[in-house]
Amino acid sequence: MNTDKANAALDTVYGADSPEALAGAYAAWAATYDSETASLGYLLPFLITAWVARHVPAGEGPLLDAGCGTGLSGPSLKALGYGDLAGLDLSDDMLKLAASRGAYGDLRKAMLGGPLPWPDGHFRAFFSTGVFTIGHAPASGLHELVRITRKGGQAIFTVRDQVFEAGGFQAVFDELTAAGKWRLAEQSPWFRCYAIGDPDALVKAFVFEVL
């Protein structure tokens, strides 16, 4: 069953103990990622477009899909009138699939938590789903994402419940707020990542305005 394979693949990526192991896990999963996550009812790449559309007018500059994976969000945003999309991911195999969707004009290999290959204030907004989760990008990666987002722009992302406390996300939120780098515009209640599988896997969506 796709659900069993998807759950096994999730266990592998959540258990990766290094960036290399994580990249390897996604390389192995890339070809079947879309169908297997769909079998679990994976909502986030599609649902994040609602927050983008609510806060970011189309046509005002480039948007970054931070941790774009196979690029599931791109076509939905393109259909909603967002034509200037960039993506980053740590997996070459995932980036190849994202490129095949024809929604991204700029795709680069990069890892959240390290330096990103764009200048200060380059993006109108960034969005990210399923990246601030178990064994993935650290909360500290938000500093660099905020750097490359212009003042008045938005930071739109989800955080998994199991890493919110353990990963120090509130501390990073508070650091950026105290430094006058952003302010909270909206946060969702905790909700399920998967409509079909894993009912205990919860995330929260956040929208910050970059200052």
Tell me the per-residue pLDDT of 82-120, one tens digit each, with 9 for 90 and over: 999 999 998 898 899 999 999 999 999 999 999 999 999
Sequential DSSP letters for 10-60: HHHHHT--SHHHHHHHHHHHHHHHHHHHHHTTB-HHHHHHHHHHHHS-TTS
Query: Given pLDDT bands bounded at 50, 70 and 90, which one contains residue 24?
Result: low
pLDDT reported for residue 185: 98
pLDDT reported for residue 82: 97
Rounded to an integer, what distance in angstroms lies between the CA atom of residue 92 and that of residue 175?
Answer: 33
pLDDT reported for residue 1: 44
Tokens (6 digits) for 129 = 């789903």
Query: Given pLDDT bands bounded at 50, 70 and 90, which one contains residue 27?
Result: low
Kindly report the pTM of this predicted structure: 0.87
Q: What is the mean pLDDT of the chain?
A: 89
pLDDT reported for residue 80: 97
As to burial, measured by CB atoms within 10 angstroms (0-12 exposed, 13-18 middle, 19+ buried), residue 84 is middle
Mean pLDDT value across residues 12-21: 59
Alpha-carbon separation of residue 92 from 42, 106, 158 (angstroms) = 22, 14, 23
Domains of the chain from N-terminus onward:
42-210 (3.40.50.150)
127, 145 in Cβ contact below 8 A? no
